Amino acid sequence: MNKNYPVLVKLFLSCILCVLSSLVFADPPTQVMRLGFIDGTVTYSPAGVDDWVNANLNRPIVTGDRLWADSASRAELQLGSAVIRMNENTSINILSIENKSPQIELDQGMVNLHVWKMSYYKGFEIDTPNLALSVNQEGDYRLDVDTSTNTTTVTVHEGGAIVYGENNTSYQINAGESFRFSGTELAYEALALNEPDQFDQWASARNTLYENSISKKYLSSDIIGHIDLDNHGDWRVDNHYGNVWYPRNQRSDWAPYLYYDGPKTL
């Protein structure tokens, strides 16, 4: 019998406990996004995992997650006073959402970034195969990555942004301007603004929901998901508590987070 057996067992168990402790007591992320809207088929691959699974509404999105919106599909990632919207056939990678400086990678497809307030954020960065877009002010921004032509089109509807390429190349893009960039040294072509397409119209309609939200009168617009309260309840004045939100059309034993009847689209 090996006299070192008990020692080896203790060593093995100690290693297991160390691993479990690191998992259990690991610091949670300081910032997350919320997958607040899904229309169609949206899949994701969690950070550090190669498998892809169907994404569920309300899923927290953290650094390292990847998302794909399939054909005839769209998704919206909510960050409080900002949202990132994905059009169909779009792939993004969450590079970082820590330090109040969200950074995503757009591999292909179209995204819309809308920022209502910059008071919380230091800035936003969207990286594509051609460039890095830096947003440091409120506004409405669209990026289109065409992998067949190796180009990125940047359109600034409101606000202003700077694009960066290789060899210290950079350009300022102002409200009402659109440019198509090719290569990584920012060879560009100025484009005329077209009439809003279906993606623009959808993004604009979503913005209107936020701006007309009743719940915004009672809650900070930085609270992720506050507009969903409008569809599921009403605000009333309570003599003791003041303004109180009451759920609408719920069973008598309803409690928060206890019942869920599946994802809904707006």
Per-residue pLDDT band for 223 (boundaries 50, 70, 90) equals confident
DSSP class of residue 248 equals: S
pLDDT at 71 over 50: yes
pLDDT for residue 216: 79
- Whole-prediction pTM: 0.81
What band does 183 get if pLDDT is binned at 50, 70 and 90? Answer: very high
Cα-Cα-Cα-Cα dihedral sign, residues 200, 173, 37, 229: negative
Query: Long-range pairs for 204-212 at CB < 8 Å and ≥24 separation?
Result: 206/37, 206/76, 206/83, 206/85, 206/266, 207/114, 207/140, 209/266, 210/83, 210/116
Name the token pair of 240: 């003791």
Tell me the pLDDT band of 72, cut-offs 50, 70 and 90: very high
Q: Print the SS3 string covering 203-229.
A: HHHHHHHHHCCCHHHCCCCCCCCCCHH
Q: pLDDT-derived band of residue 173, with 50, 70 and 90 as boundaries?
A: very high
Q: Can you tell me the distance from the alpha carbon of 114 to that of 38, in angstroms, rounded to the nearest whole number?
A: 17
Cβ atoms 93, 108 nearer than 8 A: no
Give the helix/strand (H/E) hosting 111.
strand 103-115
| Mean pLDDT, range 61-72, rounded to an integer | 96
C-alpha torsion 81→95→58→227, nearest 10: 10
pLDDT score of 256: 65
pLDDT tens-place string over residues 39-59: 999 999 999 899 999 999 999
Q: Tokens 């509807």 sit at which residue?
A: 157
Q: Which of the residue ranges 126-135, 154-163, 235-244 would you say has the lowest mean pLDDT?
A: 235-244
Domains and CATH numbers, the chain: 33-202 (2.60.120.1440)
Model pLDDT, residue 259: 60
| pLDDT-derived band at 257, boundaries 50, 70, 90 | low
180-205 in b/e form (b: 16+ CB < 10 A) is: bbbeeebebeeeeeeeeeebbebbee
pLDDT at 149 over 70: yes
Q: What percent of the chain has pLDDT over 90?
A: 59
For residues 104 and 90, give the distance between their C-alpha atoms in angstroms, rounded to a whole number: 13
Lowest mean pLDDT among 11-15, 62-66, 241-245: 11-15
Give whole-number Cα distances, 114 to 22, 136, 221, 230, in Å.
37, 12, 13, 21
